[in-house]
Amino acid sequence: MRRILVASLVLLSSLFPAAVNATQPADDSSTQTPVPRVSTGVIEPILLDAANVHLTPNMFDRLNLNEATVVLSLNVDEKGKAQDVQVVKSVNKMLDERVLDAVRQFHFSPAKLDDQPVPVDMTLNVVVKR
């Protein structure tokens, strides 16, 4: 989605100056041409604070694993909070629930577009080790 957004912004920024120049009157030299706003692209969110996934050694034994990766999709809002967290690749229902609980407590620096916080969808791989 980010590539589509960036491509759209690049396309729009290249068309915008032509539209501004086309609407300027030819004989009015006192009017200054406004400088078009150019996007710097989306700067992705950065994880600032992560909650731990709480599993006891007995739970690892019951799950019969030493390491597992749970893949999640989520939205990081303008305040840096994880929203709409969903499991994309499950390991085990018990482990998935504990990972979901932890990720909902994560805090990110929000993504930015032109130095303004914006919400973004992202995929997050959470690796749980013994």
Show the domain range for 4: 1-39
Same domain for 80 and 20: no
**For residue 56, what are the contacts with CB-CB under 8 A and spacing of at least 6?**
none
Same domain for 104 and 53: yes
Whether pTM exceeds 0.85: no
47: which 2 tokens? 């994880």
What is the rounded average pLDDT of the residues 114-130? 92
Same domain for 98 and 65: yes
Asked whether residue 39 carries a pLDDT value surpassing 80, the answer given is no
49, burial (CB in 10 Å: exposed 0-12, middle 13-18, buried 19+):
exposed
Mark 3-35 as b/e (b = at least 16 C-beta within 10 Å).
Answer: eeeeeebeeeeeeeeeeeeeeeeeeeeeeeeee
Same domain for 60 and 25: no
Region of poorest pLDDT, from 4-8, 27-31, 40-44? 4-8
For the chain, the domain total comes to 2
Decide if 95 contacts 128 (C-beta within 8 A): yes
Please report the pLDDT score of residue 90 as a whole number. 94
- Split at pLDDT 50, 70, 90, the class of 38 is low
